[in-house]
């Protein structure tokens, strides 16, 4: 396995694990507070919808010439990754609330309990169905985007899909074993790492797609990824110092 393929597998696994943890929280909240049957129907319907997206977008992407694919998909991945990384930096610097699955589970469960059980449609609680469907679909779309962009760019959609399925399987197995949201997963650190990986691969592919040649070829990723990580950590440290000095100024 080349460095780029290993990076692909690790990036997709981590990104999908994070999304699966978030989807699991919603599914568990619906299943335990409302009813499992409509929750499972919602999960199944979202899975079918995601499969349709993959079936349409996958072949369409792989049919594009590699140069076009890399510049378009690399650019999209970079924009997406920078968005993800910005939020992760703000969280790490203490300027944005950390993602807390236990709190989200409590919030979602409370909301579900507050909604009255209305008339069922075909024996299904529409609230549990809709919330679990939307939760899995929205988190799943991010997984699909990452799998397709990473997989198509390296012509390794199979490897990306295996990494994604492995992540979802691990999260679901652990989640249902403990019957609780996975609050102890270091989700914020994972999101930081994923942001760095998405933006790094996006940088690499978009430049290649635009006609640039990286010194060292794929090995350039071994410089881009740690380089961006150091830059992001430097921004976090700078933001923390700036916040601390503002606090000292105010208390003086």
Residues at the contact surface with other proteins, assessed by CB under 8 A? 71, 75-76, 78-80, 82-83, 85-86, 89-90, 95, 141, 145, 199, 203-204, 206-207, 209-215, 220, 224, 227-228, 231-232, 235, 239
Q: Quick one: 89 or 185, whose CB is closer to other proteins?
A: 89
Q: Quick one: 183 or 233, whose CB is closer to other proteins?
A: 233
In the complex, the smallest distance separating the C-beta of residue 65 from other proteins, rounded to whole angstroms, is 15
In the complex, the smallest distance separating the C-beta of residue 129 from other proteins, rounded to whole angstroms, is 21
Q: Quick one: 123 or 211, whose CB is closer to other proteins?
A: 211
Q: Quick one: 9 or 71, whose CB is closer to other proteins?
A: 71
In the complex, the smallest distance separating the C-beta of residue 86 from other proteins, rounded to whole angstroms, is 5
Q: Quick one: 69 or 182, whose CB is closer to other proteins?
A: 69
In the complex, the smallest distance separating the C-beta of residue 82 from other proteins, rounded to whole angstroms, is 5
Q: Which of 144, 177, 197, 128 is nearest to 20 (CA)?
A: 144
In the complex, the smallest distance separating the C-beta of residue 218 from other proteins, rounded to whole angstroms, is 13
Backbone angles phi, psi at 38, to 5 degrees: -65, -30
In the complex, the smallest distance separating the C-beta of residue 142 from other proteins, rounded to whole angstroms, is 8
Q: Quick one: 45 or 231, whose CB is closer to other proteins?
A: 231
Distance CA 171, CA 190 (A): 14
Task: Tell me how far CA of residue 157 lies from CA of 3, 61, 62, 144, 170, in angstroms.
Answer: 16, 11, 9, 11, 20
In the complex, the smallest distance separating the C-beta of residue 203 from other proteins, rounded to whole angstroms, is 5
Q: Quick one: 57 or 183, whose CB is closer to other proteins?
A: 57
């Amino acid at each position: 396995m080349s460095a780029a393929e290993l990076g692909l597998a690790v990036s997709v696994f981590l990104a999908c694990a994070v999304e699966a943890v978030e989807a699991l929280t919603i599914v568990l909240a619906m299943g335990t507070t409302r009813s499992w049957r409509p929750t499972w129907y919602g999960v199944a319907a979202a899975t079918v919808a995601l499969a349709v997206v993959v079936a349409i977008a996958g072949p369409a992407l792989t049919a594009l010439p590699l140069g076009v694919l890399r510049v378009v998909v690399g650019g999209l991945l970079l924009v997406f990754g920078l968005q993800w990384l910005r939020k992760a930096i703000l969280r790490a610097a203490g300027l944005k609330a950390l993602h807390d699955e236990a709190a989200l589970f409590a919030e979602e469960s409370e909301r579900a309990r507050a909604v009255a059980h209305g008339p069922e449609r075909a024996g299904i609680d529409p609230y549990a169905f809709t919330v679990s469907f939307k939760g899995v679909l929205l988190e799943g779309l991010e997984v699909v985007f990452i799998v397709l962009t990473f997989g198509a760019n390296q012509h390794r959609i199979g490897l990306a899909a295996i990494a994604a399925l492995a992540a979802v399987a691990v999260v679901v197995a652990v989640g249902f074993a403990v019957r609780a949201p996975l609050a102890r997963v270091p989700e914020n650190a994972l999101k930081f790492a994923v942001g760095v990986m998405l933006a790094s691969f996006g940088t690499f592919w978009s430049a290649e797609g635009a006609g640039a040649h990286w010194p060292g070829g794929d090995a350039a990723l071994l410089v881009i990824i740690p380089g961006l990580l150091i830059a992001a950590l430097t921004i976090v440290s700078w933001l923390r110092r700036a916040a601390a000095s503002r606090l000292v100024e105010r208390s003086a």
